[in-house]
Amino acid sequence: MALDNDATVTTRVLGDEFDDALRVRVLAVLRSLGATSPNAAAWALGGSQELESMDFQLRGCPMRLEAETYVGLSLTGPAALVSLIQQQLTQG
């Protein structure tokens, strides 16, 4: 699947931010698709909100996985890639 870098960007909440099993599955899918992560995960705390984010490159496109209190575990990137990852999660 070829995607250009101008693809529509979307964010989808995949589940609860504290679902470690889901996080492991998402990371496994990203790795299986060839995603690379040039930077370490970032963590921030603001009041009662905790935010952890990880940036990836997948097929030349930037992707972000975030776990945020009261929001959940979300994936941001080109809509086609986010959909592909969601499909892989439901099949696995």
What is residue 19's predicted lDDT score, i.e. its pLDDT? Answer: 96
What is residue 7's predicted lDDT score, i.e. its pLDDT? Answer: 67
Secondary structure of the chain in the HEC alphabet? CCCCCCCCEEEEEEECCCCHHHHHHHHHHHHHCCCECCCCCEEEEECCEEEEEEEEEECCEEEEEEEECCCEEEEEEEHHHHHHHHHHHHHC
- The answer to whether the CB of 66 falls within 8 A of the CB of 73 is yes
pTM for the whole structure: 0.86
Topology of the domain covering 14-91: Double Stranded RNA Binding Domain (3.30.160)
pLDDT tens figures, 31-54: 999 999 878 889 899 888 999 999
The pLDDT > 90 percentage for the chain reads 79
6 pLDDT tier (thresholds 50, 70, 90)? low
